[in-house]
Structure 1
Amino acid sequence: MSKFRIGLIGLGGMAQAHIRWMKENGDNLELVAVSDVNPDALAKVGAECGIAEDKRYADFVSLIADPDVDAIVSATPNHTHADIVRACLEAGKPFMAEKPFTRVFEEAVPLLQLYEQKPVPAMIGFSYRYTPAFRYARELIREGKIGAVRSFSIQYLQGWGGAPYKVPYVWRFDRRITGTGTLGDLGSHMIDMARFLFGEFQELSAQLHTIIPERPHPSTGEMVRIEVDDFASFQARMTGDVMGVFQTTRNAIGSGNQHEVSIYGDFGTIHASTLDPDRIVWIREEEKGQLAKTELDVPKHCKVSQYEDFIAMLKGQEPDGLPGLMDGYRNQEVLDAIVRADEQRTVIRL
């Protein structure tokens, strides 16, 4: 096969990034079909990308069933994730789907059962596995550069939801669509990063909170009660008794897209962040008790793109660290445990 023919589902904001990435990988990928429930978006993006009118689908099931489509890329709101993954599995189509894996854990269970019966190459969009600094941190941990890892802290902070910006009631605040708020949106990335670096969650405790309890409806201006979190914090014990502290919010004024981790080992500390994606900070003790702090440039081999791994997956390869369907399922399992830990005010064991 000269090129993999891709069908793109969801033509909102993230679609433009995926279209750009497909063009950058044009030797291997060709966008041949698109789908969206919004007819204006369907017509606009279809025309911009030169998609034939009979390949512009209002119904994603029809796009997935199209024999001219080899694989699916999905970038839609949370409440559609389960149905799209299910349709891909039933059709035997490889796919890359957005995170979180599903809206709630109850939707994830039957998908895993179906996947075990009808497995297909699958990738979940935990894109921060492809931040060079995080990949290099993982390599240094595996090489034992800071000795045994004892604890870590992860945070993912954004500021766009803060009070001064008067953000209206959009779909990310609608529990029927999202399942959870900041937890599922940003927290799912923190969960995945912890699993990527340290292994599985063993037990956790949590607190969820809504800082801004009402937001104006964008059409009517009437205040709508917010039923999802916009702040989440939790603590966890990971594989090997590695202890972790997590926090995330959309109300951190001054934070654009600040996802970072500090890792504490017996012989040193590593700090990695999206704010400096091509470098990490390495702190260790040298002779006579003196601390040395070094900024290390990320080596070239750690600069792997999400689409490089997606193409490799489509070619039948199994790249190290590719976030597959089981990563999506485990992530949703942890999200569910965090919600239960908050509701029950107790420690949840996984």
Structure 2
Amino acid sequence: MGKFRIGLIGLGGMAGAHVRWMAELGDRFEIVAVSDVSAEALARAGEQLGIIEDKRYADFEKLVADPDVDAVVSVTPNHVHAAIIRACLAARKPFMAEKPFTRVFEEAGPLLDQYEQQPVPAMIGFTYRYTPAFRYARELVLQGKIGTVRSFSVQYLQGWGAAQYMVPFVWRFDKNITGTGTLGDLGSHMIDLARFLFGEFEELSAQLKTIIPERPDAATGRMVPIEVDDFASFQSRMTGDVMGIFQTSRNAIGSGNQHEVSIYGDFGTLHASTENPDKLIWIREEEPGQLSRSTLDVPSSCKTTQYADFLAMLEGKEPDGLPGFMDGYRNQQVLDAIIRASETKTVVQL
């Protein structure tokens, strides 16, 4: 079995998680080059990872073009997602890129044109497809265990942005960098989970809200207006007339990383959550009028990792459920439709 030489772009907090995830697969990945706009981050990561000076790039395009790099892993803020994907496609380098696919949908169209002309193996970082409970829920739905699915609800709640914590203005609140707020950050995961479980969005309506209208600049203390949402709710009609309700917020005190789905079918209900990722709740009638509520252990067959699929992709395989290029593009389409639905206060068709 060969080893894949990885170029890592973006050396912030999440990069450390990706380094750990790669290491979990033994020696199948070797990080041979790094890139970041911060000279300090480059020096620190270069020392920690044993990367020689010549492979520490301030310009990510030089990393992508490096012939010693077999594949690229990009862990950056939203405003450079499109440029990195464009560079990888041009260089015909396989890649894993962070979500959301692009900062705004207008950046996605040219990437699709480029991809159709010169496709390369691509993975978008929708990590929650690899939550075991979500994968088991998908398996049970496909097996018809709860009959025809009629509706579902998804929420993704965090509490770190709540007013009492007085979080200062950081890049996640900067529209020029993020495009949207909690919608693109957390809502993109909800959209991907719904597509993973139920198929495509056909129509939706939405409301976006900025709960905290300004935050202090960490350096100056000056109050900075917030132009992105920190609460989003929307409802959809999916393939097969499955109805969905979604909410996400970074102002939910008591929620650390609460991403969950409830699925309602003719013969029962399934509930899965990141808060108990190896368990699934199944509610059904075993006898008329007698409800049974079971907590199921997720079988090992539903347990795999994002990097196991990335490795399989690099080896030329096609793992079931791998979030690929078109999943990123379709996700961005839905994000754009949510914004338009909220702004126009209308139902938007997809």
Q: TM-score, normalised by structure 1?
A: 0.99
For 2:341 and 2:22, how far apart are their aligned partners in 1? 40
1:205–1:341 Cα contact (<8 Å) kept = yes
For 2:92 and 2:309, how far apart are their aligned partners in 1? 19
Q: Which residue of the partner structure matches residue 270 of structure 2?
A: 270
For 1:49 and 1:170, how far apart are their aligned partners in 2? 27
Describe the SS at the equivalent of 2:176.
Answer: helix
For 1:198 and 1:319, how far apart are their aligned partners in 2? 18
For 2:247 and 2:347, how far apart are their aligned partners in 1? 17
The question of 1:127 aligning with 2:127 is answered: yes
Aligned residues: 350
Once the two structures are TM-superposed, the CA of residue 23 in structure 1 deviates from its matched residue by 1.6
- 1:254-265 equivalences under 5 Å are 254-265=254-265
Once the two structures are TM-superposed, the CA of residue 121 in structure 1 deviates from its matched residue by 0.1
- 1:154-165 equivalences under 5 Å are 154-165=154-165
* Structure 1 spans left out of the alignment, 5+ residues: none
Once the two structures are TM-superposed, the CA of residue 28 in structure 1 deviates from its matched residue by 1.1
Describe the SS at the equivalent of 2:119.
Answer: coil
Q: Which residue of the partner structure matches residue 34 of structure 1?
A: 34
For 2:132 and 2:79, how far apart are their aligned partners in 1? 31
- Report Cα offsets for 1:262-293 as digits up to 9, x if no partner: 00000000000000000000000111320000
- Report Cα offsets for 1:111-155 as digits up to 9, x if no partner: 000000000000000000000000000000000000000000000
RMSD: 0.6
Describe the SS at the equivalent of 2:69.
Answer: coil
Q: Which residue of the partner structure matches residue 216 of structure 1?
A: 216
Q: TM-score, normalised by structure 2?
A: 0.99
- Report Cα offsets for 1:243-262 as digits up to 9, x if no partner: 00000000000000000000
Q: Which residue of the partner structure matches residue 86 of structure 2?
A: 86
- 1:1-350 equivalences under 5 Å are 2-350=2-350
What amino acid sits opposite 1:127 in the alignment?
T
1:7–1:32 Cα contact (<8 Å) kept = yes
For 1:101 and 1:179, how far apart are their aligned partners in 2? 11
Once the two structures are TM-superposed, the CA of residue 27 in structure 1 deviates from its matched residue by 2.4
What amino acid sits opposite 1:209 in the alignment?
K
1:22–1:31 Cα contact (<8 Å) kept = no
What amino acid sits opposite 1:7 in the alignment?
G
For 2:217 and 2:197, how far apart are their aligned partners in 1? 40
For 2:339 and 2:121, how far apart are their aligned partners in 1? 30
